[in-house]
Amino acid sequence: MSKTALVVSAHSADFVWRAGGAIALHAAKGWKVTVVCLSYGERGESAKLWRVPGMTLERVKAEREAEAKKAAAVLGVHDIQFWDLGDYPITLTNDSLFRLVDVYRDIHPAFVLTHSKEDIYNRDHPAVTDFAQHARITAQAHGHNPGQKVLGAPPVFLFEPHQPEQCGWKPDVLLDIGSAWPQKRAAIECMAGQEHLWEYYTRVAQQRGAQAARNSDKSITWGEGYQSVFPHVVETLA
């Protein structure tokens, strides 16, 4: 059976900027990656669209969904879901929590990617990481919907916030995304509603690539940084 992974994204572009390389890298190896976009980022992350005369909320949502679907196809996403829970602020209810629990138990991801624990510039992001991890814990509970197979213990990696130094975020995992960089850059360019971030996240990838090269014996140009939540369980240290 194919290995699976889950990405829980607060807004429809977050998975592209922050985890596009990891998604494309694993998809190319045959992994089935599910992306859950909890909102479209229609209020707080679509300024370019709101400058268009006569723009409406529904049109913004439609534009952002189309962009995200196009980017997901470029990255090789197996399943992308749009839950339309609003943004600024995002509304996370118990019904949505149990819906995410069902996703965990349906796909049994080998790893999970989601947001940083702190983000002083965007309160939706830490709310979503807390939500994603609460769902993970519930999915491990034998007494929750006993007829379902309980979740194991997939590692959780927190992707990079927009201003890591201001958010107390420090990567302890550096991923070489060199083989997947062309797909990530192409996916970035699908996000027309936030064109101002294209070059910023290109520079981030170069910086993380340089750091990955410095901490290995490999020639690495493009990278992504992650912060692990749980200890790594290994059989050897090399």
Q: What is the pLDDT of residues 28-67, one digit of tens each?
A: 999 999 999 999 999 999 999 999 999 999 999 999 999 9
**Does the pLDDT of residue 1 top 80, yes or no?**
no
Provide CB contacts within 8 A for 24, sequence distance 6+.
Answer: 74, 75, 76, 177, 180, 183, 184, 187
pLDDT of residue 238: 84
pLDDT for residue 190 is more than 90? yes
Q: Are 28 and 178 in contact (CB under 8 A)?
A: no
Whole-structure pTM value: 0.97
In the structure encoding, which two tokens stand for residue 207, read together? 């910086």
The residue with tokens 């992306």 is 35
CB atoms within 10 A of CB 30: 9
Is the per-residue pLDDT at 87 higher than 90?
Answer: yes
Architecture per CATH, 4-228: 3-Layer(aba) Sandwich (3.40)
User: What are the DSSP E strand ranges found in the chain?
Assistant: 4-9, 32-37, 79-82, 112-114, 156-159, 173-176, 223-228
Measured at the alpha carbon of residue 38, what is the angle toward residues 132 and 146, in degrees to the nearest 5?
45
In the chain, the N- to C-terminal Cα span, in Å, equals 27
